[in-house]
Structure 1
Amino acid sequence: MANYVGFIGCMMVVFALVRGANAITYTVGDSYGWAVPPNGSIDFYANWASNKTFNIGDEVVFNWNGTHTATQVPKPYYDNCTKSGLVLASSGLGVTFNANDTLYFLCSVDTHCELGQKVTLVVGDGISDTNNDTGAASSLTVGVLCAFLSAMVVFLLNYI
């Protein structure tokens, strides 16, 4: 019986590890990359993001040639192209999503933002985990919880 339960516990750990390995890395703009949108297409990045489902653990990478930035800003700054925020100043840098949220990025160089070089990324349900009453516990993924519970079960079964 103990061997069977230990096997179940190990399978739960494997499931948790595989679930964590399912994170996806997205390149903003796909092969076009992070640049002023082509042909004045102000909705280029909105269209790019609209067919993506971003989840906790996923990563977005901003790749560009030339002079650009990827600046994370609050929504009012995004709406008005206010170029003050957390700057990713090197191409190839990524942002890993660690909570449900809506994140806003723009290029803070010249008039690039006004020309459409900005993107909204909705992670999970888009509602920030830091703004709800459940606190840090809500940011635990099912995989982490499953791995913890599996380890506890295996640990306890060794003493039965």
Structure 2
Amino acid sequence: MRTLKTHKMRIYIIGVVLLMIFLSCSVPCLAKVYTVGDSSGWSLGVDYSTWTSDKTFAVGDTLVFNYGSSHSVDEVTSSDYGTCNVGNSIASYTSGPTTIALNTTGTHYFVCGVVGHCSGGMKLSVPVTGGGGATPATPGTGTSPITKPAPTPPTSTTPGSVPASSETISPNVAVAFSLVCLMFKFILV
């Protein structure tokens, strides 16, 4: 009798674990980390339109700008992007590498704020689609106010550049995987 009860409990636990795995994987499990310009980084002489042409950016993805002290990253509006104006920057970063999370849909615009660099090609337009119910921030339309977000602090675990674009595991998947491992440990003991 006791073994039948233990067997039913194990089946129940396995069912819960499988349900957790299914639920954690039914949402996007992977966010992409894009190193802007790949190995060339954020610098003069890189065609950023070509760099973005084969990529699909989504809410939750991250951009990493690798650059030295002779450059900056300014997030600007569409009209400022077209004229290379950094006087009204949404956010400005001056020490690389800089990591910026793409938290809203719509096109995000980035330029180098150093005089002449934007007009020399250091400008990046990133169309962001889908994801998590975020709504596009549409500067200048009157439908959503323009606010300066708190700058995302530059992050890096080691000095220097961040490796080429890669995928990272969602924290939800990591937690689910840990719980699955823990459950199996108790089931198999």
TM-score (norm 2): 0.58
User: What does 1:53-68 align with in structure 2 at a 5 Å threshold?
Assistant: 53-68=56-71
Please give the alpha-carbon distance, in whole angstroms, between the structure 2 residues aligned to 1:75 and 1:100. Answer: 14
Name segments (4+ residues, structure 1) moved above 2 Å: 1-9, 11-14
User: Are 1:12 and 2:17 counterparts?
Assistant: no
Q: How much has 1:8 moved relative to structure 2?
A: 4.4
**Bigger CA radius of gyration:** 2
The residue number in structure 2 matching 1:100 is 105
* SS at structure 2 position matched to 1:64: coil
> How many residues end up aligned between the 2 structures?
125
Q: Deviations over 1:58-96 (max 9, x none)?
A: 111010124111100000000000012110111111111
Higher helix share: 1
Please give the alpha-carbon distance, in whole angstroms, between the structure 1 residues aligned to 2:69 and 2:16. Answer: 55
Q: Deviations over 1:78-117 (max 9, x none)?
A: 0000012110111111111122121000001010001110
Gap runs ≥5 in structure 2: 1-7, 139-171, 173-189
Kindly report the root-mean-square deviation, in angstroms, between the aligned alpha carbons of the 2 structures. Answer: 2.7
Give the % identical residues. Answer: 29
The one-letter amino acid of 1:67's match is: S
TM-score (norm 1): 0.68
* SS at structure 2 position matched to 1:76: helix
Query: Cα distance 1:16–1:92, how it changes in 2: closer, same or farther (>3 A)?
Result: farther
User: What does 1:17-56 align with in structure 2 at a 5 Å threshold?
Assistant: 19-20=28-29, 22-37=30-45, 44-56=47-59
The residue number in structure 2 matching 1:129 is 135
Bigger drift between 89-98 and 107-116 goes to 89-98
Please give the alpha-carbon distance, in whole angstroms, between the structure 1 residues aligned to 2:41 and 2:137. Answer: 32
The residue number in structure 1 matching 2:95 is 90
